[in-house]
Structure 1
Amino acid sequence: MTENASNDKVEEEQDTPWTDDRVRWHEEFQEEHEKQQATTNQADDDEEEEESAFIDPFKDPDPFQSFQFSFQVDTSKITTTCTKSGGDDDDHRKDQHQENEETIKEASRTVDIEIRGYKTGADQVWKSTGLTLWRAAEHLCQYMAKNPDIFQGKSVLELGAGLGLCGILAHKLGARKVCITDGDSDALLHLRENVNTNKTATTINTLPTNNNTVSAHQLIWGKDTTERFLRSKQQQQQPFDVLIASDIIYARCIVEPLWETVDLLLSRRQDNNPPAVFVMAYAKREVPVSIEFVLEYAQAAGFSHKLVDEHPDGIWVYIFQRNNNTNTAL
């Protein structure tokens, strides 16, 4: 990290007190969850889950955890400009040879990220799931590292970021601007610390930029809250080229506000070349909402989708875009 980057603190703002347990223990979610559990006939497991919900202050004296990652980035897809000084033919051929050697060496590069949060089993995670890291985030990052051209030079926003791993990687891949958001006010405290720790003035291709910024903000999904968010950021944010999210689907009641938010964020684009996209990683888990339901709602909201990556453990990466785009990335 450079000295300038370390001195450039993430701006502070007043957040609305809100934690995602309000959604996860929503009445609709509870009823569907109870029905699902009844059909599995796992009463003993249910009793154990109820017991584990009680907070035990002596359970773990150190609930915090540092998460360290190294992503192998396919830099052959990164656009770079290399200017060579003039000279005679021999010098020019020598420079060209050195440039070719450098290109081969830079076919891939490792990007290291370290973030801090809570252990997955910590009591605090029962209230705010964004306080820890979930498996779909790492899988989405692996997809991003293989396709850095999607993010280089783009304006990127992450939804439901939690600890911010994917948004931080987008920043390190050379995104022009990155806005990392979460609705949970507890998660935002750790998110801003992680963003500040990982800010850098140098992108993946080691070219310093004057307009490579990353910030963290609160964004609670829904039409009204998203409109307020956009008004508050009107002087700071340009239209977003790419939205990203991972492991954000855990209840049916959040699907409608999610697509209201996605629709508003992508509707700010005045041009469709290239089209704005939403890249989402979905992890299969025991929750009363399926990926089929999410995809059907996306289609009804006017979005087409394409499955671009999948993992045997039940993680899928989809790219969504508006149906009214004359140009298409799908």
Structure 2
Amino acid sequence: MQAQPEKKHSSTCDSKEDSNKLESRYQFCGNALRITRDFSNNLGISAIIWESGLVLCRYFEQEKISFSGKKVIELGSGTGIVGILAILLGGDVTLTDQPVVLNQIEFNVTSNIPVSIIQRSKVSDLRWGKNEDQFPTDYDFILGSDIVYSPHDFPSLIKTLQHLSNQNTIIYISSKMRETMGAIDFHEKLLPQHFNSELVHRNEEKEINVYKVTKKAREQPSA
């Protein structure tokens, strides 16, 4: 499957300031999202709505992807926009990040998910390479947007992906292809050592790629 170019989309953004918080509004897959970034807790890059996340949301919209009845985990959720959309598209979703970010994610989940389906959401502390063994290995989907930016963390990220996935798991990773931050080496050299990786979408203007990734089958020992 060849990567599909970016199409026009229905998302819009209308931001307003409220003290130390900034709310941005988007629309994906017929769902209006209100995403708040909390600048009062020194969240740094976790208080940014990254273009890679928006591109992944648009990809779900364009491809009419459904997570209905599927078990999903999002890595490095940040504001939670991708995981929240996955819940609204039917998934049972665990949104994860470092402990300091969880309140921001929980606020956005509560603001966007109807009470009738809030039980399909969970917000959890997940630090790559440290506590992934506290999570199961039977996810149907793993989602990540702009999680490939620090070569120092690549081994831990690979270890986490290996633990969380099985041969039936579909992993979507949306990455800004920053050569200086190792994204090209990660996707072209490191990831293919452990996973099958297919470029399914590219935003030429933003230089963002979406990859569909699956775990390689273990080699059977020879008789």
Identify the TM-score tier after normalising by the shorter chain.
0.7 to 0.9
Shift of 1:118: 4.1
Equivalent position SS for 2:148: coil
Cα offset, 1:296, TM superposition = 1.5
| Correspondence for 2:94 among 161, 172, 179 | 179
2:138 touches 2:169 (CA, 8 Å); kept in 1?
no
1:314 pairs, out of 192, 207, 211, with: 207
- Tell me the distance in 2 between the aligned counterparts of 1:212 and 1:241: 18
Using the size of structure 1 for normalisation, the TM-score is 0.56
Pair 1:225-2:131 in alignment:
yes
Larger Rg: 1
1:186 deviates by: 2.2
Q: C-alpha separation between the residues in 2 aligned to 1:324 and 1:276? A: 12
Match of 1:214 in 2: 121
Cα distance, 1:152 vs. partner? 2.2
The match for 2:25 is 68
Q: Which runs of 5+ in 1 are unaligned?
A: 1-59, 74-109, 203-208, 326-330
Question: Which residue matches 1:18?
Answer: none
TM-score (norm 2): 0.81
For 1:295, the equivalent position in structure 2 comes to 188
The one-letter code matched in structure 2 to 1:214 is S
Are 2:145 and 1:145 aligned? no
Question: Percent identity of the aligned residues?
Answer: 24
Structure 2 gaps, min length 5? 1-16, 219-223
Q: Counterpart of 1:66 in structure 2: which amino acid?
A: E
Question: What is the match of residue 73 of structure 2?
Answer: 157
Aligned pair in 2 of structure 1 residues 192, 212: CA closer, same or farther (>3 Å)? closer
Residue 181 of structure 1 aligns to which amino acid in structure 2? T
Quote how far apart the aligned CAs of 1:308 are: 0.7
Shift of 1:123: 9.5
SS in 2 for 1:305: strand
Aligned-residue offset at 1:168: 0.2
Find the residue that maps to 2:124 and give its secondary structure: strand
- Structure-2 change in CA distance of 1:123 and 1:155 (3 Å): closer
- Larger helix share, 1 or 2: 1
Secondary structure of the equivalent of 1:174? coil
Q: 1:62 to 1:257 in 2, by over 3 A?
A: same
Q: Distance in 1 between matches of 2:27 and 2:163?
A: 34
Counterparts of 1:193-208 in structure 2 under 5 Å?
Answer: 193-200=107-114
Matches within 5 A, 1:23-38: none
Kindly tell me the number of residue pairs found equivalent between the two proteins. Answer: 201
The aligned residue for residue 114 of structure 1 is 34
Residues 283 and 315 in structure 1, CA contact (< 8 A), matched pair in contact too: yes
Partner of 1:33: none
What is residue 261 of structure 1 aligned with on the other side? 160
Q: 1:277 aligns with which of 155, 158, 170?
A: 170
Bigger strand fraction: 2
The one-character-per-residue Cα deviations of 1:244-303 (angstroms, maximum 9, x if unpaired) are 010112210111100100110013xxxx5xx21110100134743132333311122x20
Residue among 114, 117, 124 paired with 2:42:
124
Distance change >3 Å, CA 287–CA 66, structure 1 → 2: farther
Residues of 2 paired with 1:115 and 1:288: CA distance? Answer: 27
Decide whether the 8 Å contact of 1:282 with 1:291 is kept in 2.
Answer: no
Deviation per CA, 1:60-112, whole angstroms, max 9, x where unpaired?
Answer: 994421011011x3xxxxxxxxxxxxxxxxxxxxxxxxxxxxxxxxxxxx111
Which amino acid is the alignment partner of residue 151 of structure 2? R
Q: Is the 8 A contact 1:174 1:212 kept in 2?
A: no
